[in-house]
Structure 1
Amino acid sequence: MDDLLALIGLKRSTYYYLEAHPLNTASDNKIADVIRQIKSPQFQTEYGYRRVTTLLHDQGYLVNHKRVLRIMRQNALLSTTYNTRKRRYNSYRGTVGRIAERVI
């Protein structure tokens, strides 16, 4: 056993940890299906992982935002419009403050 682990470059403790804690892909697939429903065309399609996490919490799923981000990355469900600039930068805020009266 140790020879095999040394051959593939895996530590013994890592092997036993992975054996005791199998990957939970079934629940990830279930959450991915729910995320696809949330991002379906009838709803808002440009939801990011933060808003999706909030909606999952509202539906009763207790998932971490990091897990939602990982699942969305694996299934190519991340929003793409956030990074594209739709308008040029404009710092004009209108009339700010109070204009003093002319007393002279």
Structure 2
Amino acid sequence: MAIFLKVAHISSSNFHYAINHVYKKTDATIIELIKNIIMKCKDYGYRRVVLTLHNNGIKINHNKVQRIMQEYNLQYTAYDKQARTYNSYKGHVGPVAKHKLKRRFITDHPFQKIVTDVTKVR
């Protein structure tokens, strides 16, 4: 055992902990419950799945549910960055003013022609 500890470069306490520790695996029943919830409501993300499991009396961490959903490709994909971009353009709304300046901005009186660019205003 001492040779193994030197080869593995771990302390004896970590070695004995790893030997005696019972690692929990995800239960197949939890995975089936998550799959059933998503089959009923396809638009549920991991947060709603966790709330549904809690309402059914199953205590489970949200990180575990999210990890299970990622492993089995059960995540809700409607919310991505491209779907959330905001665009307030509604087409031509209201009357459009006539183009009277025709790019002649020079004047001999101050404040005779006051213009602004509204092409980037949303």
Q: What TM-score results when the alignment is normalised by the length of structure 2?
A: 0.57
Asked if structure 2 preserves the Cα contact closer than 8 Å seen for 1:32 and 1:75, the reply is no
Aligned pairs for 1:1-104 (under 5 A) are 1-27=1-27, 29-40=28-39, 43-83=40-80, 85-86=82-83, 88-90=85-87
Asked if structure 2 preserves the Cα contact closer than 8 Å seen for 1:72 and 1:78, the reply is yes
The alignment's C-alpha RMSD in Å is 2.5
Compute the displacement of 1:91 (Å). 5.4
Structure 1 unaligned spans of 5+? 93-104
For 1:77 and 1:69, the matched residues in 2 are separated by 9
Structure of larger gyration radius: 2
Asked if structure 2 preserves the Cα contact closer than 8 Å seen for 1:35 and 1:52, the reply is yes
Deviations 1:73-97 (A, max 9, x none): 22222222221534751459xxxxx
Aligned residue in 1 for 2:111 = none
Structure showing the higher helix proportion among its residues: 1
**Which has the higher relative contact order, 1 or 2, with Cα contacts under 8 A spaced 6 or more apart?**
1
User: Aligned pairs, how many?
Assistant: 89
For 1:77 and 1:56, the matched residues in 2 are separated by 15
For 1:51 and 1:15, the matched residues in 2 are separated by 39
Q: What TM-score results when the alignment is normalised by the length of structure 1?
A: 0.65
